[in-house]
A = this chain, B = another copy of it.
Amino acid sequence: MLKRCFENVKNKSPLIHNITNYVTVNDCANILLACGGSPIMADYSGEIEEIASICNGLNINIGTLNEGTMLSMILAGKKSNKCNNPVLLDPVGAGASALRTETAHRLLEEVKFSVIRGNISEIKTLIDGTGSTSGVDASIDDVVTEENLDETVSFAKSFSAKTGAVIVITGAIDIVADSEKAYVIRNGHPMMSKITGTGCMLSAMTTAFIAANPENIIEATKASVAAMGLCGELAFERLSERDGNSTYHNYLIDEVYNLTAEKLESGARYEVR
């Protein structure tokens, strides 16, 4: 299944519409190209529905949002819903400001999402307002550990039941859950938190995976999350003594570019809960 999801991205080369922040937008475009997708970035209301309608999937990322892009997110989300294109929500910084939290809630009301991906603090903020905040990173108080893993998994499942979306919580341990089943994924490397945009890139790539596998959202999402984590491990292996986070950032995208279905199948580490 990992293999099929992966190969569908390479074969279909889905065109992904990204409404995203200006911090990591270049990385999102390059990781989409690396995985076999095709990116288009557009956030102006005057063209947003038309752009959404020519694409195969939509990635909504609320980092560096403003009045104009907030409107565009709603318009593009509704249009993508009408076109039956999968839509992903990345609630960057939900909990860090009332505006971001409210925007995420409003998007959840007006748009049907196939996937919601955030760190644990962002997702807890959306579920019940209990997320702490440390800017755009997860708070240490919220971090997912072996001790609270079962509880977090059931949180994710019930949020999936409520929203109809596959829920992705990323961190040292990643969770991908629908209302009935959860994958706990143990790929990744701590150095992924030392570059900006790992989460944004994962959201962009996951949108390509679900757009290429619309009949199987949870499996496609698992494949994307495992792929990113695995590439984070492989990128770290390549580092030499004087390399730092900038070279790591390049190697991470390089590994996605060079990933194969076989490497993904043998390297993915996950369990069902």
A-side residues, CB < 8 A to B, are 15, 21-27, 29-30, 33-34, 38-44, 46-47, 50-51, 54-55, 63-68, 93, 96-100, 133-137, 194-197, 238, 242-247, 249-258
Contact = CB atoms under 8 A, between A and B. Distances in A.
Contacts of A197: 26, 29
B254 A245 contact: yes
Given A50-B99, A97-B42, A23 B23 contact: no
Given A26-B26, A43-B66, 17 more contacts: A22-B25, A26-B27, A26-B197, A30-B249, A33-B196, A34-B244, A34-B245, A44-B65, A44-B66, A47-B97, A51-B97, A54-B133, A54-B135, A238-B242, A242-B254, A244-B253, A246-B252
A72 B50 CA distance: 23
A51 B99 CA distance: 10
A96 B40 CA distance: 10
B238 A256 contact: no
A13 B244 CA distance: 17
Contact of A96 (B27, B51, B98, B99): B51
Given A34-B245, A245-B253, A253-B244, A41 B29 contact: no
A214 to B, nearest CB: 18
Contacts of A38: 134-135, 137
